[in-house]
A = this chain, B = another copy of it.
Amino acid sequence: MNKFDGIKEYQFHDYDIKNNKGKDLNKKLINLNELKNMIDFKDGMTFSFHHHLRNGDGVANIMFDLIKELNLKDITIVASSIFPVHANMVELIKNKNITKVYTAYMSGPVADCISQGYLKDGVYMHSHGARARLIMEKEVNIDVAFIASPCVDQESNINGSEGKSSCGVLGYAYADALMANKVVAVTDNIVNKVADIEIDGNNVDYVIKVEQIGDPKGIVSGTTQITKDPLGLLIAEYAAVVIEHSGLLKDGFSFQTGAGGISLAVADELMKIMQANNIKGSFASGGITGYLVKMLEANLFERLEDVQCFDLEATSSIVRNKNHLKMSASHYANPYDKTNIVKDLDVVILGATEIDLNYNVNVTTASNGVIMGGSGGHSDTAAGAKLAIIVSKLVSSRLSVVKDKVTTITTPGESIDVLVTEYGVAINPKHKELIEKLKKETNLKIRTIEELYEIAISLTNKPQPIKLSDEKVGILEYRDGTLLDYLYKVK
């Protein structure tokens, strides 16, 4: 009887990985030449790296040099994000050294090169939470993980928040350290004992000491800044009014916001409202900026859940504040991780490159189809939060953010609850009660998204649809691995 055949089996998601590679640093400390002898580098392997050093990263380039020197072919790269600093990948992609890429975000020459169709087996773009899922569930097997490590101690423990190349936290690298076949820590700072173990030495195979793992100027920015644009500030004010009247802003409130100028302005507005009403939130999460640190230190949240530090104030806070906690990407946003915190979010503030009449959001491609971003935590937090709010100027550089159809779906519209623009607020029509409540209690201009679209079109004229080629260069996977959209070749 085969009537029950063909149903995909449940996968256990229990992530209690017990690696035990020993802890003695002296047995692991080697140089790059020795590494070539220790690991049997071969064509077809999968390498990973993380992006906590952002556009100052020097470690991925060590890996790219190795691929080039050994002339490895058909390499898959699993990168949490790819920045302009990783431009050395372009040559390797064109020469078929690297033929497949997984990433949650990319911008710069590598993104352009992939959009132009050079990557033989295509790019798989996903969210930060999905990356943790892919690795923890062994959907992707990493042969060698290269972990840029701001600090390593005598027990080979790794910490991200000590030393000249501190990046604060290594949240995206935990999965790689737990699951990769070989884990290579690259560091410029060896100490007796790390103040805080982020990655346990038992998970580390080799440690390579270099002069400098990255350029401090590119690793963290000085301070992320609130927008100075009066329209942006107005949008932030509107968004704060929405939150204030959503019924969610009360003791225990949980919040996430990105590092965009308008998003930060929302946090600043929110801070005033919480202080005036004596509201104490539970946590703020995500990539952490100085504004959230300020809210923590003003006692407006019990704790910060930090997967990635965006600025100097965050990297210094994580050392100073004991309720500024480090978390893994799996704990942050892996839909199969029972402890994931995005599901506990009340409100998330997000940006959009495009949003369409079904509330689908694109933050992955420009209107011409070129890759210039990616989900990061966008679709994770939008799915988890009770209220996912998009803040954006309706019209910018004579372009409307609202489209009849987005070029690429990064986050499905059903996850998006509110769009706040300078011309008014559109609320996903499924929230009938919220619409009535905001109409009754506030002076906000509540409009349908169709009305906002009409306003924008009247100001900008309807854009000519851009014809993309039908040659696929990649796919966009949703959090659970299902297909959201394709990425197409551009000229």
9-residue interface stretch from A51-59, A65-73, A159-167, A472-480: A472-480
**Interface pair A383/B338, CB less than 8 Å apart:** yes
Min CB–CB distance A143 → chain B (angstroms)? 21
**Interface pair B122/A483, CB less than 8 Å apart:** no
Point out the residues of chain B lying under 8 angstroms from A122, CB to CB.
Answer: 3-4
Q: Roughly how many angstroms separate A51 CA and B480 CA in the complex, as a whole number?
A: 32
Point out the residues of chain B lying under 8 angstroms from A94, CB to CB.
Answer: none
Point out the residues of chain B lying under 8 angstroms from A344, CB to CB.
Answer: 343-344
Point out the residues of chain B lying under 8 angstroms from A121, CB to CB.
Answer: 3
9-residue interface stretch from A40-48, A85-93, A187-195, A408-416: A408-416
> Interface 1/0s, chain A 331-353, versus B by CB < 8 A?
00000001100011000000000
Is A322 part of the binding interface, using a Cβ–Cβ cutoff of 8 Å?
A: no
Partner of A386, one of B10, B14, B339: B339
**Interface pair A12/B481, CB less than 8 Å apart:** no
Point out the residues of chain B lying under 8 angstroms from A276, CB to CB.
Answer: none
Q: Roughly how many angstroms separate A383 CA and B12 CA in the complex, as a whole number?
A: 12
With both beta carbons as reference points, the residue of chain B lying nearest to A117 in the complex is identified as B1
Q: A4-B472, A252-B282 are in contact. Are A414 and B482 (CB under 8 A)?
A: no
- Known contacts A14-B414, A16-B430; 19 additional CB pairs below 8 A are A3-B121, A3-B122, A4-B122, A4-B483, A7-B475, A7-B483, A8-B482, A9-B482, A10-B412, A10-B478, A10-B483, A12-B414, A13-B414, A16-B429, A251-B252, A252-B282, A338-B415, A339-B386, A343-B344
Residues of A within 8 A of B (CB): 1, 3-4, 7-16, 121-122, 251-252, 282, 338-339, 343-344, 383, 386, 412-415, 429-430, 471-472, 474-475, 477-478, 480-484, 486
